[in-house]
Amino acid sequence: MTTDHLLYGAERSSLHRMDERLKLTGFALLLIAMSLLQTPVAALAACGLAAGAVVFARLPVVLVLRRTGGVALFLSTFFLILPFSHPGGSRAGVQEALVIVLKGIAMVLTIFPMFWTAPLHRSLKALAGLRLPQRLVTLLLLTFRYVQTYEMRLAQLRISLQARGFRFRRNLETLRMIGGVVGLLLLRSFEQTERIYQAMLCRGYGKKGGIAEGFPPVSISDGCRFAFLFLLSLLLVAFDLHLRGWG
């Protein structure tokens, strides 16, 4: 589950080789542009762009479609609500719902080329290169590291509970049982952090603190890729404004 993305971080396209700082910034601009869209046609164009990026990055289409489909289904509930509640009438309601669903799909699709084209820890470190607080990035890296450990421990606990006859039921006892399991994991993690902290101190943690990562200077081709993403964002917004009759 939490390790799905690792399969696709290896070099498969030029997006995989792009400097993570520029990649993240470029796609973030694209996401902001997408969130500004108000017409269905522009939102559809955004979906096309994002889907193009997914294909270009040679990401696993089936998995991407499954994840995107889930979000689209969730957002589709607006089709059941907005046509009846929109002050501009049912037609306006349908259009607004359509914009929401299409924008949602486009933005979910964009996350894949943005984050699934590099090992996650590299993207997270790039956040430090983008001047995010060092402490926050260190927290993110540590959390991600131990998510994988505790995912495994939860699976082991689940097996041992099932081996002793535990089944999920629709009652308070099941909830309390789950709560107990969470408590046990919390207790273990609390005890473990003391040992992790000792191991960190032993290796001089605290003098400089956190991660020290050198970033290479930006290459011209990466600069071009970033410029391309920036241009796409501008074009998308301009297209939307044009459709709304702004010239």
Partner 1 sequence: MHISDGVLPLPVLAAGWAATVGLAAWTLRGIEGEDLPRTAVMTAVFFVASLIHVPLGPTSVHLILNGLVGVILGGAAFPAILLGLVLQAVLFQHGGLTTIGVNAVMMGLPALAVSHLFRFGRRSLPGRTVLLGFFAGASCTLLSGCLLALFLATAGAAFFPAAKLALIAHLPVMLIEGGVTTGTVNFLLRVEPKLLGELK
Partner 2 sequence: MNSVIQTKGLSYRYGKGRMALEKIDLSIREGETVALIGANGAGKSTLLLLLRGILDAGEGEIVIHGRGLPRRGKIEALAGEVGLVVQDPDDQLFSSTVFDDVAFGAVNFGLPRDEVEARVKRALAAVGLSGFEERIPHHLSGGEKRRVSLATVYAMEPSILLLDEPTSHLDPKARLEVIRLIRDFPGTRVIATHDFELILKVASRVILLHEGKIAADGPPVSIVTDEKLLREKDLAMPLVVRYLMALESGDHAALHAHEHEHVYDYHSRDGKTERRILRHSHPHAHEDDRDHGHEHENQ
The alpha carbons of the chain give a radius of gyration, in whole angstroms, of 23
89/165 Cα distance (integer angstroms): 55
Partner whose binding site includes residue 86, from partner 2, partner 1, none (CB under 5 to 8 Å by kind): partner 1
Which C-beta is closer to partner 1: that of 34 or that of 128? 34
User: Going residue by residue from 187 to 206, which x/- string records binding to partner 2, judged by CB under 8 A?
Assistant: -----x--xx-xxxxxxxxx
Which C-beta is closer to partner 2: that of 206 or that of 245? 206
Contact call for residue 157 and partner 1 (CB under 8 A) = no
User: Going residue by residue from 131 to 150, which x/- string records binding to partner 2, judged by CB under 8 A?
Assistant: ----------xx-xxx-xx-
Which C-beta is closer to partner 1: that of 167 or that of 216? 167
Among candidate residues 4, 18, 113, 120, the one with its CA nearest the CA of residue 56? 113
Among 207, 216, 246, 247, interactor with partner 2 by CB under 8 A: 207
49/55 Cα distance (integer angstroms): 10
Among candidate residues 99, 92, 45, the one with its CA nearest the CA of residue 75? 99
Partner whose binding site includes residue 63, from partner 1, partner 2, none (CB under 5 to 8 Å by kind): none
100 burial via Cβ count (<10 Å: 0-12, 13-18, 19+):
middle
- Owner of token pair 């390790």: 3
